[in-house]
Chain A
Amino acid sequence: MTEATGGIDFEDEGSGIVKKFMFVNRKAPYGTIYALEGLEVVLISAAFDQDVSLVFLDDGVYQIVKGQHTKAIDVKNFSPTYRALEGYDIEKLYVLKESLEERGLTVDDLLVDVQVLDAAGMAKLMAEQDVVLSF
């Protein structure tokens, strides 16, 4: 134990068990706090060197739409943070094809690179996770 970690023992980097973590985002960004809180947890998870995937389903795809300007509603525009995820080695971003299509969106409307999955692909990816956290 060390004073620097507040008395908590940490495993040496790379020696811990790596689990597959999935964060499921299903809410639009500003109407509720879910999207921002979810993003905060994703950033925290980056500190633990886990196998992290982010998926955007249903209204969750609105979180990563380009061109968000929030000045007039006096709320922090957190959309640029999604672009920073790469710097935290969080590079597995997935979007449900049907969710994009029913909103009239394409991948060109999104501010990050994503893999587009159909419902079958999404079901498979979800089922193989060790931990699924929903926002």
Chain B
Amino acid sequence: MLHIVNKSPFENRTLENCLRVIVHEEGAALLLTEDGVYAATKGNIAENSLKAVMGKIKVYALWPDLEARGMQDRVIDGIKLVDYGGFVDLVAEHRNNQSWL
């Protein structure tokens, strides 16, 4: 299942709330978009929580959103970057998806 988070980890607990559920799902994927991409950057408040789950779930970040925010050179190692085409592929590859609004 593909999970999408679009909120900054500094703004609220959406990412943490998402992670604690999806870490139990084998084959889960997480895509960070919009302000959610700040969580994909080195030294941010959620870095350790993300690294802790990266062995279990796949983590992606949307490149255009990273680039728009000037964060493209700070991405945590192991997070895969996708463009809009890659976003569509992720949606198509997974059985279903959930946006953690």
Once A58-B17, A120-B24 are accepted as A-B contacts, the answer to whether A130 and B96 lie under 8 Å apart by CB is yes
A129 to B21: give the CA distance in the assembly, Å.
15
By size class, the interface of chain B is 10 to 19
Bound-state CA distance A123–B17 (Å) is: 12
Q: Which of A27, A34, A123 has the most CB of B within 10 A?
A: A123
Are B101 and A135 closer than 8 Å at their CB atoms? Answer: yes
Any chain A CB within 8 A of the CB of B28? Answer: yes
Contact with B along A115-135 (1 / 0, CB 8 A): 000011011101101111011
Tell me whether B17 and A127 are in contact (CB under 8 A). Answer: no
Please determine whether A127 and B25 come into contact, CB atoms closer than 8 angstroms. Answer: yes
| Cβ–Cβ < 8 Å partners of A34 in chain B | 101
Q: How far is it, in angstroms, between the C-alpha of A131 and the C-alpha of B94 when the chains are bound? A: 12
B99 contacts which chain A residues (CB < 8 A)? Answer: 134
Are B101 and A26 in contact (CB-based, < 8 A)? yes
User: With the chains together, A66 CA to B57 CA distance in Å?
Assistant: 37
Say yes or no for B98: interface residue by CB 8 A criterion: yes
A24 at the interface (CB under 8 A from B): yes
A24, A96, A124, A130: the one contacting B98 at CB < 8 Å is A24
Q: A131 near B96 (CB under 8 angstroms)? A: yes
Tell me the bound Cα distance from A107 to B99 in angstroms: 26
Q: Tell whether A98 is near chain B: CB-to-CB under 8 Å.
A: yes
Give the docked Cα–Cα distance between A131 and B24 (Å). 20
Q: Is the Cβ of A123 less than 8 Å from the Cβ of B22?
A: yes
Known: A26-B17, A119-B21, A134-B100. 7 other contacts (CB 8 A): A27-B101, A96-B21, A120-B24, A123-B24, A124-B24, A127-B28, A127-B96
25 CB contacts below 8 A, A to B, read A24-B98, A26-B100, A26-B101, A34-B101, A57-B17, A57-B21, A58-B13, A98-B20, A119-B20, A119-B23, A119-B24, A120-B24, A122-B21, A122-B24, A123-B21, A123-B23, A123-B25, A124-B24, A129-B96, A130-B96, A132-B96, A132-B97, A132-B98, A134-B100, A135-B101
**Chain B: residues with CB nearer than 8 A to chain A?**
1, 13, 17, 20-25, 28, 95-101
